[in-house]
Structure 1
Amino acid sequence: MTTRRQMLAMSASAIVGSAVSASAQGNDVSSESRSKITQIRNATLRIDYGGVRFLVDPMLADRHSFPGFPGTANSEQHNPMVHLPLPIADIVDVDAVIVTHLHEDHWDQAARDALPKDLPVFAQNDADAEVIRGQGFTDVRVLSENSEFDGVRLIKTAGRHGTQAHYEVMAELLGDVCGVVFNHPEEKTIYLAGDTIWNENVDAVLSAHAPEIAILNAGYAMVQGIDGGIIMGTEDVLRVHQAAPEARLIASHMEAINHCVLTRAELRAFAAEEGFSDKLLTPGDGETYTI
Protein backbone atom coordinates (compact mmCIF):
# COMPACT_ATOMS: atom_id res chain seq x y z
CA MET A 1 0.00 0.00 0.00
CA THR A 2 1.23 3.48 -0.80
CA THR A 3 1.89 5.41 2.37
CA ARG A 4 2.46 9.10 2.99
CA ARG A 5 6.15 9.43 3.79
CA GLN A 6 6.69 11.69 0.78
CA MET A 7 3.51 13.65 1.45
CA LEU A 8 4.00 14.67 5.08
CA ALA A 9 5.77 17.91 4.21
CA MET A 10 2.72 18.98 2.21
CA SER A 11 0.15 17.88 4.76
CA ALA A 12 1.02 20.13 7.69
CA SER A 13 -1.85 22.45 6.83
CA ALA A 14 -4.32 19.74 5.92
CA ILE A 15 -5.80 19.68 9.41
CA VAL A 16 -7.04 22.78 11.13
CA GLY A 17 -5.20 23.15 14.40
CA SER A 18 -2.03 24.42 15.96
CA ALA A 19 1.35 22.72 16.05
CA VAL A 20 3.64 22.83 19.01
CA SER A 21 6.86 24.55 17.95
CA ALA A 22 10.16 22.72 17.99
CA SER A 23 11.44 25.01 20.72
CA ALA A 24 8.39 24.40 22.92
CA GLN A 25 8.86 20.65 22.52
CA GLY A 26 12.60 20.80 23.09
CA ASN A 27 13.28 19.39 19.62
CA ASP A 28 15.63 20.36 16.81
CA VAL A 29 14.58 21.65 13.40
CA SER A 30 11.55 19.79 12.03
CA SER A 31 11.82 17.28 9.22
CA GLU A 32 9.43 15.58 6.83
CA SER A 33 9.50 12.39 8.89
CA ARG A 34 8.45 13.92 12.20
CA SER A 35 5.28 12.60 13.74
CA LYS A 36 2.04 14.49 14.15
CA ILE A 37 -0.79 13.71 16.54
CA THR A 38 -4.20 15.22 15.86
CA GLN A 39 -6.93 15.18 18.47
CA ILE A 40 -10.15 14.66 16.51
CA ARG A 41 -12.80 14.17 19.21
CA ASN A 42 -13.12 12.01 22.29
CA ALA A 43 -10.61 9.13 21.84
CA THR A 44 -10.49 9.56 18.07
CA LEU A 45 -6.99 10.51 16.98
CA ARG A 46 -5.04 10.75 13.77
CA ILE A 47 -1.43 9.73 14.21
CA ASP A 48 0.98 10.43 11.34
CA TYR A 49 3.96 8.28 12.21
CA GLY A 50 6.84 6.81 10.24
CA GLY A 51 5.25 7.87 6.97
CA VAL A 52 1.96 6.13 7.81
CA ARG A 53 -1.34 7.76 8.69
CA PHE A 54 -3.30 5.91 11.39
CA LEU A 55 -6.83 6.61 12.59
CA VAL A 56 -7.46 5.52 16.18
CA ASP A 57 -10.84 4.66 17.72
CA PRO A 58 -13.11 6.48 15.27
CA MET A 59 -16.40 7.79 16.68
CA LEU A 60 -17.80 9.91 13.85
CA ALA A 61 -21.47 10.34 14.75
CA ASP A 62 -23.16 13.72 14.53
CA ARG A 63 -23.49 15.74 17.72
CA HIS A 64 -26.29 14.53 20.03
CA SER A 65 -27.13 11.60 17.75
CA PHE A 66 -27.37 8.91 20.45
CA PRO A 67 -28.41 8.86 24.13
CA GLY A 68 -26.09 9.14 27.09
CA PHE A 69 -24.75 5.88 28.48
CA PRO A 70 -27.25 4.49 31.04
CA GLY A 71 -26.06 4.30 34.62
CA THR A 72 -23.24 6.79 34.11
CA ALA A 73 -22.66 10.39 35.15
CA ASN A 74 -24.73 12.96 33.26
CA SER A 75 -26.59 10.23 31.38
CA GLU A 76 -29.38 12.68 30.49
CA GLN A 77 -27.03 14.32 27.99
CA HIS A 78 -26.91 13.03 24.43
CA ASN A 79 -23.68 11.95 22.76
CA PRO A 80 -21.43 13.05 21.26
CA MET A 81 -21.64 16.34 23.13
CA VAL A 82 -19.66 18.29 20.52
CA HIS A 83 -19.40 18.44 16.75
CA LEU A 84 -16.57 16.93 14.75
CA PRO A 85 -13.95 19.60 14.05
CA LEU A 86 -13.15 18.31 10.56
CA PRO A 87 -15.04 16.87 7.57
CA ILE A 88 -15.46 13.10 7.79
CA ALA A 89 -13.83 12.70 4.37
CA ASP A 90 -10.64 14.24 5.75
CA ILE A 91 -10.74 12.15 8.92
CA VAL A 92 -11.03 8.82 7.10
CA ASP A 93 -8.27 9.65 4.60
CA VAL A 94 -5.83 7.29 6.30
CA ASP A 95 -3.71 4.21 5.65
CA ALA A 96 -4.96 2.04 8.53
CA VAL A 97 -7.32 2.07 11.51
CA ILE A 98 -6.67 0.92 15.08
CA VAL A 99 -9.68 -0.04 17.22
CA THR A 100 -8.63 -0.56 20.83
CA HIS A 101 -12.06 -1.99 21.75
CA LEU A 102 -15.61 -1.98 20.46
CA HIS A 103 -17.41 0.42 22.79
CA GLU A 104 -19.67 2.83 20.91
CA ASP A 105 -17.53 5.86 21.73
CA HIS A 106 -14.53 4.19 20.04
CA TRP A 107 -16.10 2.41 17.04
CA ASP A 108 -19.55 3.64 16.06
CA GLN A 109 -21.93 3.08 13.18
CA ALA A 110 -21.00 6.37 11.54
CA ALA A 111 -17.37 5.29 11.41
CA ARG A 112 -18.29 1.88 10.04
CA ASP A 113 -20.34 3.57 7.33
CA ALA A 114 -17.67 6.11 6.40
CA LEU A 115 -14.55 3.96 6.31
CA PRO A 116 -13.67 2.04 3.13
CA LYS A 117 -14.35 -1.64 3.75
CA ASP A 118 -10.96 -2.69 2.36
CA LEU A 119 -9.00 -0.40 4.68
CA PRO A 120 -6.70 -2.34 7.06
CA VAL A 121 -8.21 -2.41 10.55
CA PHE A 122 -6.27 -3.56 13.62
CA ALA A 123 -8.33 -5.09 16.44
CA GLN A 124 -7.24 -6.03 19.94
CA ASN A 125 -8.11 -9.75 19.75
CA ASP A 126 -9.70 -12.43 17.61
CA ALA A 127 -13.17 -11.83 19.06
CA ASP A 128 -13.18 -8.13 18.13
CA ALA A 129 -11.66 -8.92 14.75
CA GLU A 130 -14.48 -11.35 14.00
CA VAL A 131 -17.08 -8.72 14.87
CA ILE A 132 -15.42 -6.17 12.59
CA ARG A 133 -15.24 -8.69 9.76
CA GLY A 134 -18.94 -9.31 10.26
CA GLN A 135 -19.47 -5.58 9.72
CA GLY A 136 -18.09 -5.91 6.21
CA PHE A 137 -14.39 -5.09 6.63
CA THR A 138 -12.16 -7.35 4.56
CA ASP A 139 -8.66 -6.66 5.92
CA VAL A 140 -8.89 -7.07 9.68
CA ARG A 141 -5.71 -7.84 11.59
CA VAL A 142 -5.11 -8.70 15.23
CA LEU A 143 -2.64 -6.69 17.27
CA SER A 144 0.15 -8.53 19.04
CA GLU A 145 3.52 -7.77 20.56
CA ASN A 146 5.02 -8.14 17.08
CA SER A 147 2.50 -6.39 14.83
CA GLU A 148 3.86 -4.28 11.98
CA PHE A 149 2.43 -2.05 9.29
CA ASP A 150 4.52 -0.50 6.52
CA GLY A 151 7.63 -0.31 8.67
CA VAL A 152 5.87 0.82 11.86
CA ARG A 153 5.91 -1.61 14.75
CA LEU A 154 2.61 -1.75 16.66
CA ILE A 155 3.03 -3.38 20.06
CA LYS A 156 -0.19 -4.37 21.82
CA THR A 157 -0.33 -3.43 25.51
CA ALA A 158 -2.75 -4.42 28.26
CA GLY A 159 -5.05 -2.13 30.22
CA ARG A 160 -7.77 -2.17 32.84
CA HIS A 161 -11.03 -0.34 32.10
CA GLY A 162 -11.86 0.54 35.71
CA THR A 163 -11.27 -0.50 39.30
CA GLN A 164 -11.86 -3.87 40.89
CA ALA A 165 -15.20 -2.52 42.14
CA HIS A 166 -16.23 -1.73 38.57
CA TYR A 167 -15.28 -5.19 37.33
CA GLU A 168 -17.18 -6.88 40.14
CA VAL A 169 -20.36 -5.16 38.96
CA MET A 170 -19.94 -4.78 35.19
CA ALA A 171 -17.02 -6.87 33.96
CA GLU A 172 -18.84 -8.08 30.85
CA LEU A 173 -19.80 -4.55 29.83
CA LEU A 174 -16.31 -3.17 30.41
CA GLY A 175 -14.70 -6.08 28.60
CA ASP A 176 -11.16 -6.29 27.35
CA VAL A 177 -9.23 -3.20 26.26
CA CYS A 178 -5.78 -2.56 24.89
CA GLY A 179 -3.25 0.12 24.17
CA VAL A 180 -0.52 0.34 21.53
CA VAL A 181 3.14 1.31 21.50
CA PHE A 182 4.21 2.85 18.19
CA ASN A 183 7.86 2.26 17.34
CA HIS A 184 9.95 3.28 14.34
CA PRO A 185 13.72 3.81 14.09
CA GLU A 186 13.33 7.39 12.85
CA GLU A 187 10.60 8.46 15.28
CA LYS A 188 10.01 8.97 18.96
CA THR A 189 8.25 6.10 20.70
CA ILE A 190 4.57 6.77 21.35
CA TYR A 191 2.50 4.94 23.97
CA LEU A 192 -1.25 5.10 23.36
CA ALA A 193 -2.64 3.83 26.66
CA GLY A 194 -6.27 3.37 25.60
CA ASP A 195 -9.20 3.10 28.00
CA THR A 196 -7.36 2.21 31.18
CA ILE A 197 -6.76 3.49 34.66
CA TRP A 198 -3.31 3.55 36.21
CA ASN A 199 -2.32 -0.03 37.03
CA GLU A 200 0.59 -2.45 36.85
CA ASN A 201 0.14 -2.88 33.10
CA VAL A 202 0.68 0.81 32.44
CA ASP A 203 3.64 0.88 34.80
CA ALA A 204 5.20 -2.08 32.98
CA VAL A 205 4.81 -0.45 29.55
CA LEU A 206 6.45 2.75 30.71
CA SER A 207 9.33 0.79 32.21
CA ALA A 208 9.83 -1.53 29.23
CA HIS A 209 9.47 0.95 26.38
CA ALA A 210 10.41 4.35 27.90
CA PRO A 211 8.10 6.25 25.53
CA GLU A 212 8.86 9.87 24.81
CA ILE A 213 5.13 10.47 24.23
CA ALA A 214 2.25 9.00 26.26
CA ILE A 215 -1.32 9.57 25.05
CA LEU A 216 -3.71 9.14 27.97
CA ASN A 217 -7.49 8.83 27.92
CA ALA A 218 -7.97 11.21 30.81
CA GLY A 219 -11.62 12.28 30.96
CA TYR A 220 -12.29 10.35 34.21
CA ALA A 221 -15.45 8.63 32.98
CA MET A 222 -17.74 7.88 35.92
CA VAL A 223 -20.30 5.16 36.59
CA GLN A 224 -23.09 6.00 39.02
CA GLY A 225 -22.73 4.49 42.48
CA ILE A 226 -19.10 3.31 42.11
CA ASP A 227 -16.15 5.38 43.24
CA GLY A 228 -13.35 6.07 40.82
CA GLY A 229 -13.19 6.36 37.07
CA ILE A 230 -13.18 3.75 34.32
CA ILE A 231 -10.50 5.74 32.51
CA MET A 232 -7.77 7.96 33.88
CA GLY A 233 -8.33 11.03 36.01
CA THR A 234 -5.99 13.50 37.65
CA GLU A 235 -4.31 11.05 40.03
CA ASP A 236 -3.76 8.48 37.28
CA VAL A 237 -2.12 11.10 35.07
CA LEU A 238 0.10 12.11 37.98
CA ARG A 239 1.15 8.49 38.47
CA VAL A 240 2.12 8.26 34.81
CA HIS A 241 4.19 11.41 35.15
CA GLN A 242 5.88 10.10 38.28
CA ALA A 243 6.73 6.82 36.55
CA ALA A 244 7.94 8.53 33.36
CA PRO A 245 8.92 12.09 34.34
CA GLU A 246 10.58 12.89 31.00
CA ALA A 247 7.64 11.78 28.86
CA ARG A 248 5.37 14.29 27.15
CA LEU A 249 1.80 13.53 28.21
CA ILE A 250 -1.08 14.18 25.80
CA ALA A 251 -4.56 14.06 27.31
CA SER A 252 -7.36 12.69 25.12
CA HIS A 253 -10.94 11.35 25.59
CA MET A 254 -12.17 14.59 27.19
CA GLU A 255 -15.23 16.84 26.99
CA ALA A 256 -17.10 14.84 24.35
CA ILE A 257 -19.04 12.03 26.08
CA ASN A 258 -21.58 12.38 28.86
CA HIS A 259 -19.74 10.45 31.59
CA CYS A 260 -16.34 12.12 31.20
CA VAL A 261 -16.38 14.59 34.07
CA LEU A 262 -12.80 15.91 34.07
CA THR A 263 -12.25 18.97 31.89
CA ARG A 264 -9.08 20.05 30.16
CA ALA A 265 -8.92 23.20 32.27
CA GLU A 266 -9.22 21.18 35.49
CA LEU A 267 -6.47 18.81 34.41
CA ARG A 268 -4.18 21.71 33.48
CA ALA A 269 -4.80 23.34 36.86
CA PHE A 270 -4.01 20.07 38.64
CA ALA A 271 -0.81 19.64 36.65
CA ALA A 272 0.24 23.18 37.56
CA GLU A 273 -0.36 22.48 41.25
CA GLU A 274 1.64 19.25 41.07
CA GLY A 275 4.48 20.80 39.07
CA PHE A 276 4.26 18.97 35.75
CA SER A 277 2.32 21.39 33.56
CA ASP A 278 5.38 21.68 31.30
CA LYS A 279 4.99 17.99 30.46
CA LEU A 280 1.24 18.02 29.78
CA LEU A 281 -0.65 18.88 26.60
CA THR A 282 -4.45 19.05 26.52
CA PRO A 283 -5.28 19.45 22.82
CA GLY A 284 -8.62 20.83 21.77
CA ASP A 285 -10.62 19.06 19.09
CA GLY A 286 -8.93 19.59 15.73
CA GLU A 287 -5.53 20.52 17.17
CA THR A 288 -2.38 18.96 15.77
CA TYR A 289 0.89 18.59 17.64
CA THR A 290 4.19 17.90 15.93
CA ILE A 291 6.45 15.80 18.12
Structure 2
Amino acid sequence: MKLQLWRNATLLLNIDGISILVDPMLGEKGSMGKMPMTESKLLNPLVDLPFNKEELSNRLKEIDAVAVTHLHPDHWDSEAVRLLDKNIPIICSDVISDHIAAQGFTNIIAVNNKIQWKNITISTTKGQHGTGEIGEKMGTVNGFVLKKDNQSVYIAGDTIWYDEIAGEIDKHQPQHIIVAGGAATFSVGDPIIMTSEDIVKVCEYAPESTVWVTHLEALSHCREDRKFIQKKILENGLAERCFILDDGEEVSLKYL
Protein backbone atom coordinates (compact mmCIF):
# COMPACT_ATOMS: atom_id res chain seq x y z
CA MET A 1 0.00 0.00 0.00
CA LYS A 2 1.07 3.56 -0.75
CA LEU A 3 -0.51 6.76 0.49
CA GLN A 4 -0.21 10.31 -0.81
CA LEU A 5 -1.77 13.37 0.79
CA TRP A 6 -2.91 15.89 -1.79
CA ARG A 7 -4.42 18.48 0.57
CA ASN A 8 -6.70 18.51 3.62
CA ALA A 9 -8.49 15.12 3.56
CA THR A 10 -7.85 14.39 -0.11
CA LEU A 11 -5.73 11.25 -0.28
CA LEU A 12 -4.55 8.92 -3.01
CA LEU A 13 -4.39 5.37 -1.73
CA ASN A 14 -2.70 2.76 -3.91
CA ILE A 15 -3.41 -0.85 -3.01
CA ASP A 16 -1.56 -3.42 -5.08
CA GLY A 17 -1.67 -1.17 -8.16
CA ILE A 18 -5.27 0.01 -7.68
CA SER A 19 -5.57 3.76 -7.11
CA ILE A 20 -8.41 5.13 -4.95
CA LEU A 21 -8.86 8.88 -4.53
CA VAL A 22 -10.39 9.69 -1.14
CA ASP A 23 -12.49 12.78 -0.39
CA PRO A 24 -11.57 14.93 -3.40
CA MET A 25 -11.48 18.69 -2.81
CA LEU A 26 -10.09 19.83 -6.15
CA GLY A 27 -10.97 23.53 -6.31
CA GLU A 28 -8.38 26.29 -6.42
CA LYS A 29 -7.18 28.17 -3.35
CA GLY A 30 -10.01 30.35 -2.05
CA SER A 31 -12.71 28.73 -4.22
CA MET A 32 -14.91 27.70 -1.26
CA GLY A 33 -15.03 31.21 0.20
CA LYS A 34 -15.35 32.09 3.88
CA MET A 35 -15.99 29.37 6.43
CA PRO A 36 -19.56 29.69 7.80
CA MET A 37 -20.17 30.01 11.55
CA THR A 38 -16.75 31.58 12.10
CA GLU A 39 -15.41 35.12 12.33
CA SER A 40 -12.56 34.39 9.91
CA LYS A 41 -12.50 36.38 6.70
CA LEU A 42 -10.00 34.01 5.06
CA LEU A 43 -11.05 32.26 1.87
CA ASN A 44 -10.94 28.47 1.81
CA PRO A 45 -9.12 26.33 0.97
CA LEU A 46 -6.14 28.24 2.30
CA VAL A 47 -3.66 26.48 -0.01
CA ASP A 48 -3.60 25.18 -3.56
CA LEU A 49 -3.15 21.56 -4.53
CA PRO A 50 0.55 20.62 -4.69
CA PHE A 51 0.47 20.39 -8.50
CA ASN A 52 -0.91 22.40 -11.42
CA LYS A 53 -4.13 21.87 -13.40
CA GLU A 54 -2.44 19.87 -16.15
CA GLU A 55 -0.89 17.46 -13.69
CA LEU A 56 -4.19 17.18 -11.83
CA SER A 57 -5.95 16.27 -15.08
CA ASN A 58 -3.34 13.61 -15.81
CA ARG A 59 -3.59 12.20 -12.29
CA LEU A 60 -7.38 11.95 -12.44
CA LYS A 61 -7.11 9.84 -15.60
CA GLU A 62 -5.09 7.25 -13.66
CA ILE A 63 -7.56 6.81 -10.82
CA ASP A 64 -9.52 3.55 -10.57
CA ALA A 65 -12.15 4.71 -8.05
CA VAL A 66 -13.14 7.51 -5.70
CA ALA A 67 -14.14 7.02 -2.05
CA VAL A 68 -16.27 9.66 -0.33
CA THR A 69 -16.74 9.70 3.45
CA HIS A 70 -19.35 12.51 3.49
CA LEU A 71 -20.56 15.43 1.43
CA HIS A 72 -19.09 18.49 3.13
CA PRO A 73 -17.40 20.65 0.47
CA ASP A 74 -13.89 20.15 1.85
CA HIS A 75 -14.35 16.44 1.04
CA TRP A 76 -16.50 16.58 -2.09
CA ASP A 77 -16.48 19.98 -3.77
CA SER A 78 -18.08 21.31 -6.92
CA GLU A 79 -14.80 21.08 -8.81
CA ALA A 80 -14.54 17.37 -8.01
CA VAL A 81 -18.07 16.91 -9.34
CA ARG A 82 -17.12 18.80 -12.49
CA LEU A 83 -13.75 17.16 -13.18
CA LEU A 84 -14.31 13.52 -12.30
CA ASP A 85 -15.42 11.09 -15.01
CA LYS A 86 -19.10 10.42 -14.38
CA ASN A 87 -18.52 6.71 -15.05
CA ILE A 88 -15.75 6.27 -12.47
CA PRO A 89 -16.67 3.98 -9.54
CA ILE A 90 -17.72 6.06 -6.53
CA ILE A 91 -17.45 4.18 -3.23
CA CYS A 92 -19.63 5.71 -0.51
CA SER A 93 -22.09 4.84 2.21
CA ASP A 94 -25.64 4.12 1.10
CA VAL A 95 -26.71 7.22 3.07
CA ILE A 96 -25.21 9.59 0.47
CA SER A 97 -25.37 7.45 -2.68
CA ASP A 98 -28.60 9.01 -4.01
CA HIS A 99 -27.15 12.51 -3.67
CA ILE A 100 -24.07 11.58 -5.67
CA ALA A 101 -26.20 9.83 -8.28
CA ALA A 102 -28.23 13.01 -8.67
CA GLN A 103 -24.99 14.78 -9.61
CA GLY A 104 -24.68 12.57 -12.67
CA PHE A 105 -22.43 9.75 -11.48
CA THR A 106 -23.51 6.40 -12.89
CA ASN A 107 -21.23 3.82 -11.28
CA ILE A 108 -21.90 4.15 -7.56
CA ILE A 109 -20.83 1.41 -5.17
CA ALA A 110 -23.07 2.02 -2.15
CA VAL A 111 -21.74 0.32 0.98
CA ASN A 112 -24.09 -0.53 3.83
CA ASN A 113 -21.56 -2.46 5.90
CA LYS A 114 -18.96 -4.35 3.87
CA ILE A 115 -18.24 -5.16 0.24
CA GLN A 116 -15.60 -6.92 -1.82
CA TRP A 117 -14.26 -4.87 -4.72
CA LYS A 118 -11.29 -5.94 -6.88
CA ASN A 119 -10.11 -8.27 -4.11
CA ILE A 120 -10.17 -5.40 -1.61
CA THR A 121 -12.50 -5.70 1.37
CA ILE A 122 -14.06 -2.30 2.08
CA SER A 123 -15.99 -1.70 5.30
CA THR A 124 -17.75 1.47 6.42
CA THR A 125 -17.09 2.75 9.93
CA LYS A 126 -18.94 5.12 12.23
CA GLY A 127 -17.89 8.65 13.10
CA GLN A 128 -19.05 11.59 15.19
CA HIS A 129 -18.45 14.99 13.57
CA GLY A 130 -18.60 17.03 16.77
CA THR A 131 -20.79 17.13 19.87
CA GLY A 132 -24.18 18.47 20.87
CA GLU A 133 -26.15 20.68 18.51
CA ILE A 134 -23.14 21.33 16.27
CA GLY A 135 -22.52 17.59 15.95
CA GLU A 136 -26.16 17.09 14.91
CA LYS A 137 -25.95 19.86 12.31
CA MET A 138 -22.80 18.33 10.81
CA GLY A 139 -24.83 15.24 9.91
CA THR A 140 -23.86 11.64 9.27
CA VAL A 141 -20.23 10.89 8.51
CA ASN A 142 -18.36 7.65 8.10
CA GLY A 143 -14.92 6.26 7.49
CA PHE A 144 -13.56 3.22 5.67
CA VAL A 145 -11.40 0.23 6.46
CA LEU A 146 -9.69 -1.24 3.41
CA LYS A 147 -8.06 -4.66 3.60
CA LYS A 148 -6.05 -6.57 0.99
CA ASP A 149 -4.47 -9.88 1.95
CA ASN A 150 -2.87 -9.21 5.35
CA GLN A 151 -2.66 -5.42 5.04
CA SER A 152 -5.24 -2.96 6.36
CA VAL A 153 -5.78 0.78 6.64
CA TYR A 154 -8.51 2.58 8.57
CA ILE A 155 -9.49 6.02 7.25
CA ALA A 156 -11.38 7.43 10.23
CA GLY A 157 -12.79 10.45 8.38
CA ASP A 158 -14.10 13.59 10.06
CA THR A 159 -14.65 12.46 13.63
CA ILE A 160 -13.64 13.23 17.15
CA TRP A 161 -12.35 10.51 19.48
CA TYR A 162 -15.25 8.71 21.14
CA ASP A 163 -16.16 5.15 22.15
CA GLU A 164 -17.14 4.05 18.65
CA ILE A 165 -13.63 4.78 17.33
CA ALA A 166 -12.24 2.42 19.94
CA GLY A 167 -14.86 -0.09 18.85
CA GLU A 168 -13.85 0.17 15.20
CA ILE A 169 -10.19 -0.35 16.13
CA ASP A 170 -11.15 -3.42 18.19
CA LYS A 171 -13.26 -4.80 15.35
CA HIS A 172 -10.88 -4.25 12.44
CA GLN A 173 -7.43 -4.29 14.10
CA PRO A 174 -5.99 -1.93 11.44
CA GLN A 175 -2.26 -1.75 10.88
CA HIS A 176 -2.53 1.88 9.79
CA ILE A 177 -4.95 4.56 10.98
CA ILE A 178 -5.48 7.86 9.14
CA VAL A 179 -7.08 10.58 11.25
CA ALA A 180 -8.34 14.10 10.59
CA GLY A 181 -6.49 16.45 12.93
CA GLY A 182 -6.55 20.21 13.31
CA ALA A 183 -9.22 20.65 16.01
CA ALA A 184 -11.56 22.47 13.60
CA THR A 185 -13.98 24.57 15.65
CA PHE A 186 -16.78 27.00 14.85
CA SER A 187 -17.59 30.17 16.80
CA VAL A 188 -19.66 28.06 19.18
CA GLY A 189 -19.30 24.49 20.36
CA ASP A 190 -16.49 22.00 20.73
CA PRO A 191 -14.05 20.77 18.06
CA ILE A 192 -15.65 18.79 15.24
CA ILE A 193 -12.56 16.73 14.34
CA MET A 194 -9.66 15.40 16.35
CA THR A 195 -7.58 17.56 18.66
CA SER A 196 -3.98 16.66 19.44
CA GLU A 197 -5.28 15.06 22.65
CA ASP A 198 -7.63 12.89 20.57
CA ILE A 199 -4.74 11.85 18.33
CA VAL A 200 -2.72 10.81 21.38
CA LYS A 201 -5.72 8.75 22.56
CA VAL A 202 -5.84 6.95 19.20
CA CYS A 203 -2.14 6.13 19.49
CA GLU A 204 -2.50 4.93 23.06
CA TYR A 205 -5.53 2.78 22.25
CA ALA A 206 -3.88 1.20 19.20
CA PRO A 207 -0.25 0.67 20.28
CA GLU A 208 0.43 -1.72 17.39
CA SER A 209 -0.81 0.66 14.70
CA THR A 210 0.88 3.46 12.80
CA VAL A 211 -1.12 6.70 12.88
CA TRP A 212 -1.07 9.27 10.05
CA VAL A 213 -2.42 12.78 10.60
CA THR A 214 -4.13 14.75 7.80
CA HIS A 215 -6.65 17.63 7.47
CA LEU A 216 -4.11 20.30 8.48
CA GLU A 217 -3.46 23.92 7.45
CA ALA A 218 -6.02 23.96 4.63
CA LEU A 219 -9.15 25.35 6.33
CA SER A 220 -9.59 28.51 8.38
CA HIS A 221 -11.49 26.94 11.30
CA CYS A 222 -8.70 24.50 12.16
CA ARG A 223 -7.04 25.62 15.42
CA GLU A 224 -4.00 23.33 15.51
CA ASP A 225 -1.26 23.32 12.87
CA ARG A 226 1.46 20.82 12.02
CA LYS A 227 4.01 22.40 14.35
CA PHE A 228 1.64 22.30 17.33
CA ILE A 229 0.61 18.68 16.78
CA GLN A 230 4.19 17.57 16.17
CA LYS A 231 5.13 19.07 19.54
CA LYS A 232 2.40 16.99 21.23
CA ILE A 233 3.57 13.86 19.40
CA LEU A 234 7.12 14.38 20.68
CA GLU A 235 5.96 15.18 24.23
CA ASN A 236 4.09 11.87 24.37
CA GLY A 237 6.92 9.78 22.94
CA LEU A 238 4.97 8.84 19.79
CA ALA A 239 7.36 10.05 17.09
CA GLU A 240 8.20 6.51 15.94
CA ARG A 241 4.63 5.63 14.98
CA CYS A 242 2.62 8.83 14.61
CA PHE A 243 3.36 10.93 11.53
CA ILE A 244 2.08 14.18 10.07
CA LEU A 245 1.81 14.20 6.30
CA ASP A 246 2.76 17.23 4.22
CA ASP A 247 0.76 18.20 1.15
CA GLY A 248 2.06 16.15 -1.77
CA GLU A 249 3.97 13.72 0.44
CA GLU A 250 3.87 10.02 -0.51
CA VAL A 251 4.62 7.21 1.93
CA SER A 252 4.59 3.43 1.93
CA LEU A 253 2.18 1.80 4.35
CA LYS A 254 4.45 -1.03 5.32
CA TYR A 255 3.24 -4.38 6.54
CA LEU A 256 3.64 -4.41 10.33
Match of residue 235 from structure 2: 273
Match of residue 43 from structure 2: 78
Match of residue 216 from structure 1: 179
Return the alpha-carbon distance in structure 2 between the equivalents of residues 164 and 145 of structure 1.
Answer: 26
TM-score (norm 2): 0.94
Match of residue 14 from structure 2: 48
Letter in 2 for 1:122: I
Between 1:86-95 and 1:191-200, the stretch displaced more is: 86-95
Shift of 1:165: 5.0
1:260 aligns with 2:228: no
Contact 1:50 1:152 in 2 (8 A): no
Question: Where in structure 2 are there 5+ consecutive unaligned residues?
Answer: none
Shift of 1:51: 2.8
Return the alpha-carbon distance in structure 1 between the equivalents of residues 234 and 126 of structure 2.
Answer: 29
Match of residue 28 from structure 1: none
SS at match of 2:12: strand
1:179 aligns with 2:143: yes
Return the alpha-carbon distance in structure 1 between the equivalents of residues 125 and 107 of structure 2.
Answer: 22
Residues 53-93 of structure 1: CA distance to partner in whole angstroms, max 9, x if unpaired? 10000000001122122113x53110110010123214423
Match of residue 121 from structure 1: 90
From the CA coordinates, give the structure whose radius of gyration is larger: 1
Contact 1:268 1:280 in 2 (8 A): no
Letter in 2 for 1:78: L
Residues 10-50 of structure 1: CA distance to partner in whole angstroms, max 9, x if unpaired? xxxxxxxxxxxxxxxxxxxxxxxxx1000000100000013
Return the alpha-carbon distance in structure 2 between the equivalents of residues 37 and 145 of structure 1.
Answer: 24
Return the alpha-carbon distance in structure 1 between the equivalents of residues 58 and 177 of structure 2.
Answer: 25
1:107 aligns with 2:71: no
Between 1:158-167 and 1:253-262, the stretch displaced more is: 158-167
State the Cα RMSD in Å: 1.3
Shift of 1:166: 2.6
Change (3 A) 1:43 1:91: farther
Matches of residues 1-291 of structure 1 in structure 2 within 5 Å?
A: 35-72=1-38, 75-86=40-51, 87-92=55-60, 93-126=62-95, 128-164=96-132, 166-167=134-135, 171=136, 173-186=137-150, 188-226=151-189, 228-291=190-253
Shift of 1:285: 0.5
Return the alpha-carbon distance in structure 2 between the equivalents of residues 116 and 277 of structure 1.
Answer: 39
Higher strand share: 2
SS at match of 1:203: helix
Residues 126-157 of structure 1: CA distance to partner in whole angstroms, max 9, x if unpaired? 4x111111111001121232212111011100
Letter in 2 for 1:53: S
* Aligned-pair identity (%): 34
Question: Where in structure 1 are there 5+ consecutive unaligned residues?
Answer: 1-34
Return the alpha-carbon distance in structure 1 between the equivalents of residues 194 and 106 of structure 2.
Answer: 33
Return the alpha-carbon distance in structure 1 between the equivalents of residues 215 and 111 of structure 2.
Answer: 22
Change (3 A) 1:192 1:252: same
Return the alpha-carbon distance in structure 2 between the equivalents of residues 151 and 266 of structure 1.
Answer: 39
Change (3 A) 1:281 1:123: same
Return the alpha-carbon distance in structure 1 between the equivalents of residues 206 and 193 of structure 2.
Answer: 19
Return the alpha-carbon distance in structure 2 between the equivalents of residues 236 and 123 of structure 1.
Answer: 25
